[in-house]
Structure 1
Amino acid sequence: MDVMDKVRAGVLGHFSNRHSGVESVDTASVTFLGLEPIDILRVPDGEFVHYVTVGGSRHPMTDPTAALADPLLGPRAELSLTLLGGVGAGSGLTRALGVLVAAPAVEGVVLQADALLDLGEPLWADAPFTAVLLGESDIPEVALPEPAEPVRFLTVTPITATEAAWVRIRGAAALRDAWTEAKIDVRDPDRAAATL
């Protein structure tokens, strides 16, 4: 079983265990010049929809200053976004998630919790969110044969340009505290921005 098969099985197993069976899972695939395809799984879950990337962890992330990339060693990550009700298939969301998870290969970014990634354009059509904040996910790591590191999953939280500025000035924890204080559900695609 290759890395991507293991990742897919891990994602589907996680949602099956949580909900005694995964409803129909849709898969969209995005490709970028010079990169292998990235799949985006769309997993319905009651009133929520989970979007999970499969493909970003195909190769380890490496320090952009390293002279040579190690083909085995280095952290590996996939991204998971949960939205209330989801968004339409033609919204551009799958492409945006593909861009985000491909950032390590394209820009040398290492994906990790509390990282701020700015797309500079709406995350999906007409969305007020142009950046995302990464966090820890409850999807378990997927172990790979040694010496490869396990694949970690990181949550994607859509944020506005104002919220992104807040993260740069005060940090991710301060923004999360503001959401909690204002009782903002960040999974709601129609939510208001935090008043900062």
Structure 2
Amino acid sequence: MDVINTVRAGVLGHFGVASADAASVTFLGLEPIDILRIPDGDLVHYVTLGGSRHPMTDPTAALADPVRGPRAELALTLRGGVGAGSGLTKTLAVLVASPSVEGIVLQADALLDMGEPIWGGAPFTAVLLGESDIPAVELPEPAEPVRFLAATPITATEAAWVRIRGAAALRDAWTEAKIDVRDADRGAASL
């Protein structure tokens, strides 16, 4: 089963493009992770390819099932995007590799804190995962579909808010303040 090419076709089909620029990141002991960069008007979509090669497993499980289990990729959308040498592709690769490295399962409302800017000069040090507009990509049975999770960049203050009040409260604050979370130059929500 060629999971990555199936997922790539699903992503490109969703955005209605035949191809996309890609950066590849490799970590010792892991297979390469590609980050697709898809311009879309004044938005740029960054989508990982590689996190879904293997299912995510509970770190307490005695044996990892090589076929069954949730699979996920990350999608981050920014208005205007960021520069190629910004470090964003490496950060996305680190985040999507975290199930293989740290044994976590990526899911909606998860807070992934890097503790440092997620790209050079950014005020954002973490991402909040949520549901993505990209539809799941079906794989042959018995494998589960590959889900896409939207990765929203957040500041350290917003990350603290998520820890104290929860992801829904932060999203409500963004809505109330009319904050465009896709704006790479936005400030933190007033919490």
- After TM superposition, the score normalised by the length of structure 1 is 0.96
8 Å contact kept, 1:80–1:137:
yes
How far 1:24 moved relative to its partner? 5.9
Q: Which amino acid aligns with 1:115?
A: A
8 Å contact kept, 1:7–1:151:
yes
8 Å contact kept, 2:8–2:49:
yes
Number of equivalences? 191
Please list every run of at least 4 consecutive aligned residues from structure 1 whose deviation after the TM superposition is greater than 3 angstroms: none
1:66 aligns with 2:69: no
Distance 1:188 1:109 in 2: 28
1:139 aligns with 2:140: no
State the superposition RMSD in angstroms: 0.9
8 Å contact kept, 1:23–1:44:
no
Number of the residue aligned with 1:29: 24
Number of the residue aligned with 1:48: 43
Q: Which amino acid aligns with 2:164?
A: I
Q: Deviations over 1:118-157 (max 9, x none)?
A: 0111100010100000000111111111110000000000
1:157 aligns with 2:159: no
How far 1:67 moved relative to its partner? 1.3
Number of the residue aligned with 1:100: 95
Number of the residue aligned with 2:105: 110
Distance 1:105 1:122 in 2: 22
Give unmatched runs, 5+ long, in structure 1: 17-21
Give unmatched runs, 5+ long, in structure 2: none
Q: Deviations over 1:75-113 (max 9, x none)?
A: 000000000000000000000000000000000110000
% of aligned pairs identical? 83
